[in-house]
Amino acid sequence: MSSFFPNDLLGFWSEWVRPSAGLPTVLWSLLLATAAAAGHLVQRYIGLPKVVGYSLVGTIVGFAGFEGAIWPLRGISLFLVELGVAIVLFEAGGRLPLRWFRHNPRVLVQSLLEATLTYFGVYWVLRWLGVDDAAANPIALIAIVASPAVLTRVVIDTRASGPVTERAMTLATLNTFYALALGYAQAGLIEHSPLGMLQRLYPVAVVLGLSFVVGALMALSLRSALRVMSPSSENTSILLLAIIAAGAATVAHLGGSAPLAALIGGVLLKALHPKPWAWPRQLGTAASLLTMLMFVLVSVVAAQADWTLPVAGLVLALIGVRAVAKIAGVAIANPGSGASWKQALWVGCAMSPLSSIALLIASTLVAASPARGMMITGIALPAILLMEVLGAVLATVAIYAAGESSRPWKPEAFSVTEDTQR
C-alpha cells in the first residue's frame, strides 16, 4: 500500500498538471524580479543608476552558467533585444535636434571626428597587439557605439538636464547611426574576398535604403494616428509599441536594420510633427520592462565569453584607447561648438557605455561568419560586459561633475534617514 501510494499520486498529478510556458519562462521571470530588486537597492544604497544592478544580476547568472540565452542571438531573444533597442532609438531619434545642426554644424564635426578616431584608434591598437584584421575591423566598428540605452537610463535616474547631457545623447545617437549602417553592411561582406569601393558601398546603401523606407512608413503611420489620437492616450501608447514592433520585425526580415529603422522613424516623425510631444506615460512600464530585460540579457550573454589573461589585456587596451579617442574627438572639434573645454571632457566621458546595440552588431557579424565569430566574440563580449557596468558609472560621474543632475549624489536610504531625523 505504501509503495502504491506515491505512484498513484504521481499518476494523478501528471494528469492534473496543465501545459504552461515552461521552466525557462519561470526562470526568466524570477531573474527579472531579482534584477528589478537589485536595481532598486543599487540606487537606494549606493546612489548608482538602476542599470548597474540589472547588469550585475545578469553577469552573476551568466557566470553561473545560466543557459537561457544562446549566442549568437536568434529567435525570440534576438527579437526582444531588437525591440528594446528600437524603442530606445525611436525616442532618441525623436529628440535629435536637427535644427541645432544647421545653426551649430560643429556638433556634426565632433560626431564624425570622434567616431573616426575611435575606429582607427581601436583598429590600429588591436592590429599592433597581434589581432587578425578579420577580427580587428569588426571590433573597431563595434567600439564606435556609445549606448543611448544606458545613457537614457542614467539621465532618468539622475534627473539630469543641461548642455553636457544633451550633447552626449546627441553624439551617442549619431555614432549609433554610423555603427549600425556600417556594421550591418559589414556583415554582408565579411565572407567575401577583397572588394572595390563601389562594391563595399552597395551593402551600406541597401541597409540604409531598407531602413529608411520602413522608418518612413512607421513615421507616417504614427503621424496619421497623432492627427486623431491624443499623445497621452493609452491606445496611442499601444499603437506606438505595435508599430515599432511590426517595423522592427519587417525590416529585419527584409535584410535591413531594425534599430536603424526605428532611429530614422523617430527622426522623421519629429520632422513631420514638430510640435513638442511627450513620450506616452502609459508606455513607461512596458518600455522599462523591455529595457531591463535587454540589459539583463546582454550581460547574461556577454558573461558566457571565454575569459583569459591575454583576452583581458586586449580588452583593457581596447577600452583605454576607445576612451581616449572619444574624449580627443570631442575636444579637438570643440572650438566654436558652444561648449567649454571642461564640458567637452565630461561629454567624452559620458559616451563610455557599451551595451545592447554593440551586442546586436556583434551578433550579426558572428552569425554572418561563424568561422571568424570566435575571434570577434572573444574580445567584443568581455568589452561590452565591462563597459555596460563601468560605462554607466562613468556617465554618472560625468553628469554629476558637470553639475547637471537635480538629484544630489547621495544614496536615497541615507537621505530618507536624514529627513526623518529633521
CB atoms within 10 A of CB 107: 21
What's the length of the chain? 422
Least confident among 160-164, 278-282, 343-347? 278-282
Decide: 99 and 319 in contact? Cβ < 8 Å: no
Q: Is the pLDDT of residue 348 over 80?
A: yes
Region 347-373 average pLDDT: 90
Q: What is the pLDDT of residue 69?
A: 77
Q: Is the pLDDT of residue 398 over 50?
A: yes
Q: Is the pLDDT of residue 363 over 70?
A: yes
Q: How confident is the model at residue 329 (pLDDT cuts 50, 70, 90)?
A: very high
Instruction: Pick the more confident residue, 196 or 301.
Output: 301
Return the domain boundaries, the chain: 49-421
Architecture in CATH of 49-421: Up-down Bundle (1.20)
Handedness of CA 366, 370, 372, 378 (dihedral sign): positive
User: What is the Cα–Cα distance from 280 to 90, expressed in whole angstroms?
Assistant: 13
Q: What is the pLDDT of residue 67?
A: 75
What value does the mean pLDDT of the chain take? Answer: 85
Q: Is the pLDDT of residue 419 over 50?
A: no
Measuring CA to CA, which residue among 125, 147, 123 is closest to residue 137?
123
Q: Where are the beta strands (DSSP E) in 109-249?
A: none
Q: What is the pLDDT of residue 408?
A: 78
Give 202-260 pLDDT, tens digit per residue.
888 889 999 999 999 999 998 888 888 877 777 888 888 899 999 999 998 888 899 99
Decide: 214 and 254 in contact? Cβ < 8 Å: yes
Q: How confident is the model at residue 407 (pLDDT cuts 50, 70, 90)?
A: confident
